[in-house]
Amino acid sequence: MTVDQALDSDFLTLADPYRRELLAHCYRMMGSIHDAEDQVQETFIRAWRGFDGYKGQSSLRTWLYRIATNTCLTALEGRSRRPLPTGLGAPSSDPADDLIERNEIAWLEPIADSALGDVNDPAVMVVNRDSVRLALVAALQHLSARQRAVLVLRDVLQWKASEVAEALDTTTTAVNSLLQRARAQINHIGPTEDDLVEPSTEAARKLLRDYVHSFESYDVEAIVELFTREAIWEMPPFEGWYQGPEAIGQLIGTKCPADGPGAMRLLPTAANGQPAFGLYMREPDGVHRAFQLHVLDVTESGISHVTCFFDLSLFARFGLPAEL
């Protein structure tokens, strides 16, 4: 029996419409789609157990968010943050150096747009896109758990300080202090995404077509031309990160296992409100198998950031096949 089957159907009828937005909330807090799903399930269990005591003094949505936030705070106790390679504090790497894999680190994970709501509803996706950008979620990981909760509740969900204080069982003064420190930290880290363009614009669509063609033809010179001057390439679980088109081109040209044109194929998807691709690598038996998931930052002047995830379990979560 699943958790949902064990819960009262009347409760699920009322609570289930909030499941996807609660998943996004837990993802912002946890930095992992796996952990976020666990916390949503725990939220529903706690809410169902306490439903008889729900007095209706706040909306059901607010009540569920309060439970979800505290569920995440409990889960985060004693856990280290989930970084990307750029968040480890080391300078950019030399593409000529050996790749160093760090599987002991719990890395930040992407989330599929399809998990967040109706991708065909622009109103839904604009809200989700603005609040789950990969750079923002990575920046949130630099905050303490309570700072993270306060920032998300105040700046993303637009709760009043008094509502946050009640949810976290603290004072308004403490909430304002946590928010001030959290905003200062985020501003210092500086995730700048104001110049990202919508994936639906013609310029973005052309850039993405060129990205696919350049990789599938394994044309490193063409790949280099797509990146902005300060572009970043990173690929957990490898700890290095690379800055600048030339460094990225050298990395792809020397470390990529592709054996020539046709070795790679890309399927489009979307992650964190951003364009993404499942990349498949041709193996000796001639079959293209899942290799990396690319999440892109697209600007008017080119691609400014690519994060490549080697966690192959992500392909199923994005509705992508394991092989072509």
Domain presence at residue 36: yes
Q: Express each pLDDT in 299-316 by its tens digit.
A: 999 999 999 999 999 999
Q: In the predicted model, is pLDDT for residue 324 greater than 80?
A: yes
Give yes or no: residues 247 and 182 share one domain: no
Give the CATH number, domain containing residue 304.
3.10.450.50
User: What pLDDT is attached to residue 54?
Assistant: 80
Give yes or no: residues 56 and 152 share one domain: yes
Task: Identify the band that residue 10 occupies on the pLDDT scale cut at 50, 70 and 90.
Answer: confident
What count of other Cβ atoms lies within 10 Å of the Cβ of residue 287?
A: 11
User: What pLDDT is attached to residue 9?
Assistant: 74
Give yes or no: residues 160 and 279 share one domain: no
Give yes or no: residues 261 and 139 share one domain: no
Cα–Cα distance for residue pair 58/54, rounded to 1 Å: 9
Can you give the pTM of this predicted structure? 0.91
Residue 9: strand pairing partners: none
Domain presence at residue 197: no
Cα–Cα distance for residue pair 283/181, rounded to 1 Å: 50
By 3-state DSSP, what share of the chain in percent is helix, strand and coil, each rounded to 5? 50, 15, 35
Give yes or no: residues 185 and 211 share one domain: no
User: Helices (DSSP H) in 141-255: which residue ranges?
Assistant: 145-151, 161-167, 172-189, 202-216, 220-225, 245-255
User: What pLDDT is attached to residue 188?
Assistant: 83
Q: Express each pLDDT in 183-222 by its tens digit.
A: 999 988 766 655 788 777 888 999 999 999 999 999 999 9
Q: Express each pLDDT in 99-149 by its tens digit.
A: 999 999 999 999 999 998 764 555 444 455 678 999 999 999 999 999 999
Task: Identify the band that residue 236 occupies on the pLDDT scale cut at 50, 70 and 90.
Answer: very high
Give yes or no: residues 154 and 220 share one domain: no
Query: How many distinct structural domains can be found in the chain?
Result: 2
Give yes or no: residues 185 and 226 share one domain: no
Domain boundaries, position 43: 3-189
Torsion of CA 160, 162, 163, 167, to 10 degrees: 140
